[in-house]
């Protein structure tokens, strides 16, 4: 066989795969607070919708689905955006239905950037954006985030920038969208011609009475960008692989074109389940949010220097000399080491609230002892 093509060679190490392998190799007694895998299952009516649909033996269910998604699914996300964020979307032109945000963030790099162009990524930021940039053959450029999560735009390169990825509530920095951040991003887009991609995977997970802030609610947003929405976190459906890209109609059309060539749609029972999640009772969204907020409060009580305004992660500086390796080897607790999220993450760690209450309490006790020992 010929050597691996460059697009595979240039892929960075997959941060979470490597992290999980290190934690598993360390032994079964390690408490893993590094991983963000939602622990509360989806609402029962969503599971019922999947099963009921799958029992229908017709070709409309088990044959190839409409490539760009069922119109009802796109109408359902549009209705949620109207009711929750006050954003009116045209379901046919401004909504693309994709198998999860991970797929979306890769495909967006493919449809936005020419080979060699730059994509600005938040630092610290979600490591999978690096994979997207690499697959597109684009150049990754760090967009440093200040303490409050605001991009340091004055530091940002402006030439040859095809796209800027932003993410609020932010993983790993756990900040909600600072006031004015989207307006600044739109101004940057107008100045440079870059597209804005806002990752809203943690849309519903904000705390202390904050309201979820959609990029698309900002004036002029859909002229310059799109927002990614995921069912993974709001509805506990990470394994189902369901998400949307909403906003700029040209970008949505490019994604739909790519998916005609590349994926051939989403299994209809999964689409029916997505409709049930988006249009059915929404109480579980608030219950889930409140559960994470209670867990967050327990972490903040144990680690006062920690921060979390949103997401199901807590972000904090590790005491000098206390590394991921030492925590794992000596204290038997795993966190996600900050440097994997970018240079600005060095010296920090990310702790996940998506774990059982018992594991969280036991892990916090180990962490408290480790931090006291220094
Ligand atoms: C910031 C961020 N974006 C995107 C994703 C991927 O979400 P999905 O399950 O929709 O692929 C995650 C998952 O952890 C995430 O943390």
- What are the pLDDT digits (tens) for 251-261? 999 999 999 99
Distance of alpha carbon 126 from alpha carbon 114, whole angstroms: 22
Mean pLDDT of 123-139: 97
Predicted TM-score of the model (pTM): 0.97
Structure-block tokens of residue 298: 């327990």
Mean pLDDT of 34-52: 94
The minimum-distance atom of ligand 1 relative to the CA of 126 is 1
pLDDT at 374 over 80: no
CA-nearest residue for atom 15, ligand 1, is 201
pLDDT at 362 over 90: yes
CA-nearest residue for atom 14, ligand 1, is 36
- Which residues, in sequence order, are CB contacts of 133 under 8 Å at separation 6+? 109, 113, 119, 121, 139, 140
Mind listing the pLDDT tens digit for each residue in 153-178?
Answer: 998 889 999 999 999 999 999 999 99
User: E-assigned strands of the chain?
Assistant: 31-32, 95-98, 118-123, 139-144, 161-167, 195-199, 225-230, 243-247, 313-317, 333-334, 336-337, 348-352
C-beta 311 within 6 A of ligand 1: no
Structure-block tokens of residue 147: 């303490």
Ligand 1 centroid, distance to 105 Cα (angstroms): 9
The minimum-distance atom of ligand 1 relative to the CA of 105 is 4
C-beta 149 within 6 A of ligand 1: no
The minimum-distance atom of ligand 1 relative to the CA of 233 is 9
Mind listing the pLDDT tens digit for each residue in 321-332?
Answer: 899 999 999 999
Distance of alpha carbon 323 from alpha carbon 335, whole angstroms: 10
Mind listing the pLDDT tens digit for each residue in 92-120?
Answer: 999 999 999 999 999 999 999 999 999 99
Instruction: Tell me what percent of the residues of the chain surpass a pLDDT of 70.
Output: 100
pLDDT for the residue numbered 328 = 93
C-beta 102 within 6 A of ligand 1: yes
Residue 373: band (very low, low, confident or very high) from pLDDT cuts 50, 70, 90 = confident
């Amino acid at each position: 066989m010929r050597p691996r093509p460059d697009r595979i060679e240039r892929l960075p190490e997959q941060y979470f795969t490597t992290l999980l392998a290190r934690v598993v190799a360390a032994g079964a007694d390690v408490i893993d607070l590094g991983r963000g895998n939602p622990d509360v299952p989806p609402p029962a009516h969503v599971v019922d919708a999947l099963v009921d649909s799958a029992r229908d033996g017709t070709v409309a269910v088990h044959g190839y689905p409409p490539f760009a998604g069922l119109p009802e699914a796109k109408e359902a996300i549009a209705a949620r955006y109207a009711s929750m964020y006050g954003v009116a979307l045209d379901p046919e032109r401004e909504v693309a239905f994709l198998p999860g945000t991970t797929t979306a963030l890769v495909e967006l790099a493919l449809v936005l950037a020419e080979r060699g162009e730059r994509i600005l990524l938040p630092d610290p930021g979600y490591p999978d954006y690096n994979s997207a940039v690499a697959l597109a053959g684009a150049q990754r450029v760090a967009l440093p985030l200040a303490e409050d999560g605001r991009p340091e735009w004055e530091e940002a390169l402006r030439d040859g920038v095809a796209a800027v990825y932003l993410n609020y509530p932010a993983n790993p920095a756990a900040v909600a969208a600072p006031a004015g951040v989207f307006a600044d991003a739109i101004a940057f887009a107008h100045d440079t011609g870059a597209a804005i991609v806002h990752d809203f995977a943690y849309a519903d997970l904000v705390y202390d009475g904050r309201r979820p802030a959609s990029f698309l609610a900002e004036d002029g947003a859909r002229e310059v960008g799109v927002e990614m929405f995921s069912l993974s976190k709001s509805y506990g459906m990470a394994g189902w692989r369901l998400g949307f890209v909403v906003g700029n109609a040209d970008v949505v059309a490019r994604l739909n074109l790519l998916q005609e060539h590349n994926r051939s749609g989403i299994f209809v029972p999964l689409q029916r389940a997505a409709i049930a999640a988006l249009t059915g009772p929404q109480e579980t969204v608030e219950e889930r949010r409140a559960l994470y907020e209670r867990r967050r409060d327990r972490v903040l009580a144990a680690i006062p220097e920690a921060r979390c305004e949103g997401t199901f992660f807590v972000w904090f500086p590790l005491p000098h000399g206390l590394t991921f390796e030492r925590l794992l080897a000596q204290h038997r607790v795993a966190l996600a080491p900050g440097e994997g999220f970018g240079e600005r993450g060095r010296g920090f760690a990310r702790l996940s609230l998506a774990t059982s209450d018992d594991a969280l309490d036991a892990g916090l006790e180990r962490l408290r002892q480790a931090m006291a020992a220094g």
